[in-house]
Structure formats: C-alpha cells, structure tokens
Amino acid sequence: MKIPAVPRALTRTAIRQGALALAGEDPDLARLLDKLGEPPMWARRPGFTALVQIILEQQVSLAAARTMYRRLYARLGGVTPDAVCAVEAAGLREIGLTRQKAGYCFDLAAQVLDGTLDLPSLARLPDDEGRLALQAVRGLGPWSVDIYYVTALRRPDIWPRGDLALATALRDVKRLGHLPDNEEQQALARRWAPWRSVAARFMWAQYLSARGKYSSESDSGKRT
C-alpha cells in the first residue's frame, strides 16, 4: 500500500494520518491517542492578526492574552495594520498593552503597511527562509515564529522552541524526572519527524488534560 505523502499544511485528515503514524512508532503517543483521541487542529488564520495574537501570548497565560486581544479588538474596531498604526504605540499602551508589546505590534503593523513584510509571499518561501525572515522582525523570536508556523501556516514538522507547556508534558509523558531544555526537547522530538507538529499537539492536549482543561470537542484553549 502506498503511504500518503506528508502535506505542506496540516488538515484534519492529515492530523489523523500523523497521529496514527506516531502511535505506530511510539508507545507513549499510542497511549495518548487511546486516552485523548486525535489532537485538535488548534489553527488560526495566517496573517497580521495571528502574529499580534502570538505577541500578546508571549510570557503570559492564554486567558490573559485573549482578554487583551478582545479589548484591543473592541477599542480599535478590528485588529488590522491600519487600525494599529492609527493609534500608534502610545495608543496601544493606553488600551493596556505593555510598552514592549505595544512597540512590537506597532512595528509589525508599520512593516506590513509599507511592504517591508509581505506575509503572503513569506508563507510561500521554504520554511527555513520564511522563519528567518520573520525572526528579523522585532518582537518575533524563535518561539513566536514557531507557533505561527505550527498554528497559522499549519506546517506538519515543527517542534516549537521555548514552550513551557510542551516541556512539562514531555517530561511527564517520557517520565524524565526533570524539565527538558530546548536542546533535549529537539533531540527527543527528532524521532517524531515528519510529524513533529502533530506530536506537539498531542503534548499540548496532555498538558491540558493533566490540569482538567482539555476537551477533544474544542479547538480552543491551547497550552494554558
């Protein structure tokens, strides 16, 4: 039987394909599949708004980030480059963003508007090139770019760097006895190629399940 090719972007069918492939190779993921079912897609629409959401999620809980995003949306009438540039960084701070995040969001909006950052074109680049280009934007470090590629561009084979929830779940699932650093996580995740993004979704699901916050019926509530 011909094995289906790994797609460039994950779909629900591809999530199922990846979950079964991972379960066939790793008994720990097989147990997660039996316990939790296939992990949710946890996707967002690519583009400026997704990057703003990810900036807001840096170093805070997702609940806090969602609250701030809703406030930003309500005050601006939509989170677009034009709306963000209209109020400038000072206006974003008045809404409640920290000075740092206000600056990041304003700079991102300005680069999108002046054409310095062409997000649709960037998404068509090879992943390594696109990720480097995004990391050149102030405020978009490795974690932010990885999360964008996993959840917005839905690439199938990325293990996000610096994600505490993933480290915590990996420690528990692999019974490590310590919190793995990024290098150890990347080494452990290599065996899950070419489905590392699906493995990450398994770990996020396990993290939430261990805290009584997971529902397989919902694509919301990722990580924290």
Fold of 48-152: Endonuclease III; domain 1 (1.10.340)
pLDDT at 220: 42
Banded model confidence at residue 215, pLDDT cuts 50, 70, 90 = confident
* Of 88 and 222, more confident: 88
Interval 89-109 mean pLDDT: 97
Fold of 12-41+157-210: Endonuclease Iii, domain 2 (1.10.1670)
Judge whether residue 223 has pLDDT over 50: no
Banded model confidence at residue 2, pLDDT cuts 50, 70, 90 = low
How far apart are alpha carbons 43 and 15 in whole angstroms? 12
pLDDT at 224: 39
Judge whether residue 133 has pLDDT over 70: yes
Judge whether residue 112 has pLDDT over 50: yes
Q: Which of 41, 44, 54 is nearest to 10 (CA)?
A: 41
Read off the pTM.
0.94
Judge whether residue 196 has pLDDT over 70: yes
Mean pLDDT score of the chain, rounded to an integer? 94
CB neighbour list of residue 65: distance below 8 Å, 6 or more residues apart: 53, 56, 57
- Which sequence spans correspond to the domains of the chain? 12-41+157-210, 48-152
List helix spans (H) across 127-195: 127-135, 142-147, 164-173, 182-189
pLDDT at 157: 97
Cβ count near 194 (within 10 Å): 12
What is the tens place of the pLDDT at every residue in 50-90? 999 999 999 998 899 999 999 999 999 999 999 999 999 99
How far apart are alpha carbons 123 and 114 in whole angstroms? 18
